[in-house]
Structure 1
Amino acid sequence: MSNYTFCFATHKPSKEIFDLLLDIDKWWSGIFGETITGNSRKIGDEFTFSAGDGMHFSKQKLVELVPYKRIVWEVTESNLSFLDNPKEWAGTKLTFDILENKGETQIQFMHLGLEPQNECYGGCSTAWKQYFQNLEQKLNN
């Protein structure tokens, strides 16, 4: 199985990246008219993400937090109205691993459960790539 993955590097310190990632509306917005409500600062915090005039709704719960190294959200609810199975994201996990290596900080995102055989893979992987290219640009300016 091949989960969607996106990796890039920056010279920003891991603490700055970690704090930015927890501030979801600073990076998961600005492309499809997103609305984000809720919190993501401590284990158990939940937030909702809505985009595309209601075409995408998901609710995420912060389930793992290793300061400056790892963030994991579990998607607890999903309504992707453009799919035959609008609950396709439910039960998947959004993970960030942050690794410092030789003066650079590596950021690896994986959407565990978003695999090529999923209906959403094409459209969702394209959207993820747009968000992460924006994030990469923001971190490298």
Structure 2
Amino acid sequence: MPNIVHRISTDAATPDEMFDAVSTREGFISWWTEQVNGSESLNEVLEFRFGEDAGGFDFQVMELERPTKVTFLCVDGPKEWIGTDVEFRISQEDNHTVLFFAHRGWREEVPFMHHCSTQWGDFLLSLKEKFETGIGRPFGPNFRPIDNWSPLVPVS
């Protein structure tokens, strides 16, 4: 099965701060999307929405190991995402906090996966900017699309 993987690092965040950014509603609002609902507790579901008509993704919280690991299982969204998991692993290297990101379990490598890989990379840079400049670029007024595809409408 193909996977999406990325790595970022910053000296502007501690591992605990990075953990909060990738495990809490408030954290996600600062870099991924301004529309997050649900509970960030273990086995509960967080709902991420991208515009009024665009829909979104629902993730069940599978692992919360402060400050090193957060894992979600996609339980609703585009068919390509359902059953995939998203993992954030956090470590410290010298003075840098490192975030390793993986979106695993894609059934096949399709054009929508390529779009999602690039979009994930851009959102992870938004997370890095949130720490380094104080301002992220979540989906909302400051969002910059990477292409003309909707973030939630797969292209076959």
TM-score range, shorter chain: 0.7 to 0.9
1:45 CA drift (Å): 2.0
| Alignment match, 1:27 | 31
* Contact 2:2–2:109, Cα closer than 8 Å, also in 1: no
RMSD over aligned CA atoms reads 1.9
CA–CA distance in 2 between the matches of 1:54 and 1:130? 22
SS of residue in 2 equivalent to 1:140:
helix
Structure 2, unmatched stretches of 5+, are: 134-156
TM-score, normalising length: structure 2: 0.74
| 1:59 aligned partner, one-letter code | D
| Alignment match, 1:44 | 43
* Contact 1:64–1:72, Cα closer than 8 Å, also in 2: yes
Higher strand share: 1
Structure 1 pair 123–52 and aligned structure 2 pair: CA distance change class (3 A)? farther
List, as ranges, runs of 4+ consecutive aligned residues in structure 1 with deviation greater than 4 Å: none
SS of residue in 1 equivalent to 2:22:
helix
Structure 1, unmatched stretches of 5+, are: 81-86
1:71 aligned onto 2:70: yes
1:22 CA drift (Å): 1.7
| Alignment match, 1:10 | 10
| 1:49 aligned partner, one-letter code | F
CA–CA distance in 1 between the matches of 2:98 and 2:47? 27
Mapping of residues 1-141 of structure 1, within 5 Å: 1-11=1-11, 12-23=13-24, 24-29=28-33, 35-40=35-40, 42-78=41-77, 80=78, 87-114=79-106, 117-141=109-133
| 2:5 aligned partner, one-letter code | T
TM-score, normalising length: structure 1: 0.81
* Contact 2:72–2:85, Cα closer than 8 Å, also in 1: yes
Overall identity of the aligned pairs, in %: 24
Count how many residue pairs are aligned between Structure 1 and Structure 2: 129
Structure 1 pair 25–48 and aligned structure 2 pair: CA distance change class (3 A)? same
